[in-house]
């Protein structure tokens, strides 16, 4: 490849960066300005023009998906197999190093890697082994502590307890954990980086070898590096290798996991003669989308400050949809995708982005119902999540005691003293007599120790009680009761760090799912129908990676990607920005950067949606529209109205139409039932939550009928007629 064809597809600023002299380089630029493109072209430039051997190049990105794409792009540009290049994530590359230098690293040759679940199980065993109370020393919190230290490059010996007994115990557990890892020959994710950093630091000659080999180290998404990753890169670069890093301070979204946006500045201090390039032209998005993103991010303080522009067309306005509730939101999105496909678009060009994993469920349900293939990235689908499976296992046992898989799953969850030995006895008996584990409990009682037998008996009674106590309850109360009374909720509640909170939210979301569940077959008991529905939803539905399917992911997982059509959903205060972050300026600014990341994923069409009422985590929320919406200049936005016939007043038309989803409505529909036909424009009404107000307009029909009320205290709101439960005053 010649130089001109390498530089042709670049603008001036990009060329400057790609062809920069061989010195430490920082490319600092906003979303969609071609940072990743510059990085891959730089690799090509080094090989083609500077005659650097591909063996001498190390490129680091944030995810395996991104690494795969980078490899593909480089192959396409270089026309060379990219195998001799080292391209990967920080973890992937550190792993490769340890595999090569296991001896120096003090690891067995066949060391294995603990994933986060394994890691936590090990921590749990250690807590128990130390004779500590697990409710006081919560495995997740201890794991979180250990990982946070490792991410900062700290071993137990570096830590001081400062006379704090809790901290002292944490440090001891960290020590014991290290010892156990050593005995078992295992390493966790954080250890990969820390250990490879240490061998470079401590093994004479080793880092020199890599410095001599890798004359060039390139890092994408540099704003999200944490302390150990930065130290690792710095160690490798030393004073001889040349780092080339690209990033955007406005897209730093992993502060909560130890990322340090300050590394961008640190880099300029730590390396000598850093050349800085800024890119300002955006090639990804239409003018309107870009203007909206720029407007949102200007509300943050302490930015390095960049202004992006595009020479492309303004494009369509950003479409804003105010949904009545989360189901209406999902319906709107699915219809939008179907329209796009009907007009010849690919499904893979559409993305549904959301703040929290729990939001995916309703979309999945509607996509399944509409038979639109989809795929959820970076996160398990709702019914596959651990805590959901735990809850479903209890429910399954209630409806079928002989379900062995469910029995195994929850018999000792939360821990109730039913150990491996008890289970071995049960399994052997069940196998020998071809009966279920449940049926083996009674006959085995004699073979078990007194404690084991008592624990097992308590479990059997628990299941019996759960069954008896819930058999007359409506499905969602049944689910809720089981989650609480089984001890599952308490189990996850104790766990303040890591995923505990998210798991609780998901459990509450399961209650919501049960509440909105409409059995197709009226003859089946609702619980049984719900359980079969869950089985279907967890196995089927999701498309294969290569299929043309809708892309679903959280905003965090969408970093670096782009899609022609983006639905950014759930824009309500409390959800996005997340409740946790609203009170804290830094938290709020990180949420805003996340919003900037979300909007800048869109190339041509951007839809923003929010719901006036959202049933999430088992409760109804009436969140105000996200403050981020108000940060977008109104002339860039266009409100989308549902496609219903507007009639004024339309109430009469709604009569006789039962809401399409009766099972979904758990509130009394007092207004519709008691006072048909009497809702008029200008009428005073009372809402349970919002208080008194005046009817401003009524539109839509049947289950879509909605009413706009100006409430004295809460301002104007659209409510869904069937659910609003308005009283005439």
Q: Which residues bind Mg ion (CB under 5 A)?
A: 35-36, 560
Q: What distance in Å separates the CA atoms of residue 76 and residue 73, rounded to the nearest whole number?
A: 5
Provide the minimum distance between the beta carbon of 32 and ligand ATP in the complex, in angstroms, as a whole number.
4
Choose between 248 and 387: whose C-beta lies nearer to ligand ATP: 248
DSSP state of 54: G
Count the neighbouring beta carbons within 10 Å of the beta carbon of residue 211. 18
To the nearest whole angstrom, how small is the minimum distance from the Cβ of residue 15 to ligand ATP? 9
Nearer to ligand ATP, 62 or 366 (CB): 62
Partner in contact with 592, chosen from ligand ATP, Mg ion, none, beta carbon below 5 to 8 Å by kind: none
Note if 220 is an active site residue: yes
Note if 427 is an active site residue. no
**Exposure on the CB side of residue 127, measured as CA atoms within 13 A:** 20
State the Cα–Cα distance between residues 17 and 14, nearest whole angstrom: 5
Q: Binds 10, which of ligand ATP, Mg ion, none (CB < 5 to 8 A, cut-off by type)?
A: ligand ATP
The count of C-alpha atoms lying within 13 angstroms of the C-alpha of 376, restricted to the half-sphere facing its C-beta, is: 26
Cβ at position 35, least distance to Mg ion in Å? 5
Please state the closest distance from residue 657 (CB atom) to ligand ATP, in A. 46
Per annotation, catalytic residue among 35, 260, 347, 381: 35
CB of 284 to ligand ATP, least distance (A): 4
DSSP annotation string for 224-235 = G-BHHHHHHHHH
Report, in angstroms and rounded to the nearest whole number, the Rg of the chain calculated over CA atoms: 29
CB of 217 vs ligand ATP, minimal distance in Å: 18
221 has catalytic annotation: yes
For residues 70 and 430, which CB has a smaller minimum distance to ligand ATP in the complex? 70
User: Widest CA span of the chain, in angstroms?
Assistant: 87
Residue 570 contact among ligand ATP, Mg ion, none, beta carbon within 5 to 8 Å by kind: none
| Residue with Cβ nearer ligand ATP (8 or 635) | 8
Please say if 251 is a catalytic residue.
Answer: yes
The rounded distance, in Å, linking the Cα atoms of 104 and 433 is 53
Whether 451 is catalytic: no
Phi, psi at residue 577, to the nearest 5°?
A: -60, 145
Contact between 42 and 218 under an 8 Å Cβ cutoff? The reply is yes
Do the beta carbons of residue 445 and residue 456 sit within 8 Å?
Answer: yes
Interface ranges with ligand ATP (CB under 6 A): 9-11, 14, 29, 31-37, 248, 251, 283-284, 560, 562, 600
DSSP 8-state secondary structure symbol assigned to residue 187: E
* Interior angle at CA 396, CA 390 and CA 398, nearest 5: 110
Nearer to Mg ion, 67 or 231 (CB): 67
The catalytic position among 36, 40, 119, 599 is 36
Closest residue to Mg ion, Cβ-based?
Answer: 36
Please tell me the distance from the alpha carbon of residue 619 to that of residue 614, in angstroms, as a whole number: 8
Q: How far apart are the first and last CA of the chain?
A: 78
Among ligand ATP, Mg ion, none, residue 284 binds (CB under 5-8 Å by kind): ligand ATP
Report the C-alpha gap between 37 and 6 in whole angstroms. Answer: 11
- Residues 6 or more apart whose CB falls under 8 angstroms from that of 320 comprise 607, 608, 609, 629, 637, 638, 639, 640
In 3-state terms, what secondary structure has residue 610? Answer: strand
Q: Which of 220, 390, 508, 573 is catalytic?
A: 220
Residue matched to tokens 């824009």: 571
Nearest distance in Å: CB 664, ligand ATP: 38
Of 35 and 385, the one with the shorter C-beta distance to Mg ion is 35
Distances 11 to 24, 28, 73, 512 between C-alpha atoms, Å: 21, 15, 18, 51
- Closer residue to ligand ATP (CB): 77 or 725: 77
- Cβ proximity of 330 and 552 under 8 Å: no
CB nearer to ligand ATP: give 70 or 372.
70
Q: Closest separation between CB of residue 220 and ligand ATP, Å?
A: 7
Active site positions, annotated = 35-36, 220-221, 251, 601
């Amino acid at each position: 490849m010649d130089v001109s064809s390498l530089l042709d597809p670049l603008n001036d600023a990009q060329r400057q960066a790609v062809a920069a002299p061989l010195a430490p380089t920082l490319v600092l630029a906003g979303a969609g300005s071609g940072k990743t493109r510059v990085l891959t072209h730089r690799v090509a430039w080094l090989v083609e023009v500077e005659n650097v051997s591909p063996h001498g190049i190390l490129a680091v990105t944030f995810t395996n998906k991104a690494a795969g794409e980078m490899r593909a792009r480089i192959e396409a540009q270089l026309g060379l197999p990219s195998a001799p290049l080292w391209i990967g994530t920080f973890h992937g590359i550190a792993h490769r190093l340890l595999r090569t230098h296991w001896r120096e690293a003090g690891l067995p040759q066949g060391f294995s890697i603990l994933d986060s679940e394994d890691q936590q199980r090990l921590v749990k065993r250690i807590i128990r082994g130390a004779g500590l109370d697990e409710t006081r020393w919560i495995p997740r919190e201890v794991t979180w502590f250990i990982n946070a230290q490792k991410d900062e490059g700290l071993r137990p010996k570096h830590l001081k307890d400062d006379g704090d007994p809790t901290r002292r115990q944490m440090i001891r557990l960290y020590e014991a954990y290290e010892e156990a890892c050593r005995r078992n020959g295992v390493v966790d994710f954080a250890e990969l980086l820390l250990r490879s950093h240490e061998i470079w630091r401590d093994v004479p000659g080793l880092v020199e070898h890599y410095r001599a080999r890798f004359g060039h180290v390139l890092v994408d998404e540099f704003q999200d590096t944490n302390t150990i990753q930065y130290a690792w890169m710095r160690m490798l670069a030393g004073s001889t290798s040349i780092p080339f890093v690209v990033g955007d301070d406005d897209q730093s979204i992993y502060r909560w996991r130890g990322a340090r946006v300050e590394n961008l500045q640190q880099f300029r201090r730590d390396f000598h003669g850093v050349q800085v390039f800024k890119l300002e032209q955006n090639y990804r998005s239409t003018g309107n989308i870009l203007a909206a993103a720029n407007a949102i991010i200007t509300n943050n303080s302490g930015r390095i400050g960049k202004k992006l522009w595009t020479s492309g067309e303004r494009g369509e306005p950003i479409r804003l949809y105010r949904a009545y509730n989360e189901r209406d939101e999902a319906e709107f999105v699915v219809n939008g995708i179907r329209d796009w496909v009907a007009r010849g678009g690919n499904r893979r060009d559409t993305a549904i982005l959301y703040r929290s994993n729990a939001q995916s469920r309703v979309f999945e349900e509607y996509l399944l119902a509409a038979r639109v293939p989809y795929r959820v990235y970076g996160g398990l689908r709702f019914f596959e999540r651990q805590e959901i499976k735990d809850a479903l296992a209890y429910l399954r046992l209630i409806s079928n005691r002989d379900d062995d898989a469910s029995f195994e799953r929850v018999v000792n969850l939360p821990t109730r003293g039913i150990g491996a030995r008890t289970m071995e006895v049960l399994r052997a008996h069940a196998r020998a007599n071809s009966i279920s584990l449940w049926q083996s409990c009674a006959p085995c009682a004699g073979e078990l120790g007194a404690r084991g037998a008592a624990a097992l008996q308590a479990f059997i009674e628990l299941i019996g009680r759960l069954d008896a106590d819930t058999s007359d309850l409506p499905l969602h109360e049944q689910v809720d009761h089981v989650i609480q009374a089984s001890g599952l909720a308490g189990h996850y509640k104790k766990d303040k760090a890591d995923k505990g909170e998210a798991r609780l939210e998901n459990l509450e979301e399961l209650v919501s799912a049960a509440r909105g569940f409409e059995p197709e077959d009226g003859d089946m008991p609702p619980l049984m129908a719900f359980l079969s529905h869950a089985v279907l939803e967890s196995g089927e539905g999701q498309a294969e990676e290569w299929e043309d399917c809708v892309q679903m992911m959280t905003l965090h997982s969408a970093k670096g990607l782009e899609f022609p059509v983006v639905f950014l959903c759930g824009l309500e205060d409390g959800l996005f920005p997340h409740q946790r972050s609203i009170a804290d300026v830094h938290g709020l600014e990180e949420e805003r950067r996340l919003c900037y990341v979300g909007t800048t994923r869109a190339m041509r069409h951007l839809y923003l949606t929010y719901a006036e009422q959202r049933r999430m985590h088992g409760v109804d929320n009436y969140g105000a529209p996200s403050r981020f919406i108000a940060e977008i200049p109104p002339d860039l936005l266009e409100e989308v109205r549902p496609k219903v016939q507007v009639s004024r007043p339309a109430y009469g038309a709604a009569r006789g139409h039962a809401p399409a989803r009766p099972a979904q409505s758990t509130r009394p529909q007092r207004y519709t039932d008691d006072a048909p036909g009497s809702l008029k424009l200008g009428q005073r009404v009372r809402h349970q939550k919002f208080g008194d107000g005046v009817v401003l307009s009524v539109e839509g029909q049947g289950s879509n009928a909605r009413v706009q009320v100006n409430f004295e205290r809460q301002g104007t709101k659209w409510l869904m007629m069937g659910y609003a439960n308005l009283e005439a005053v």
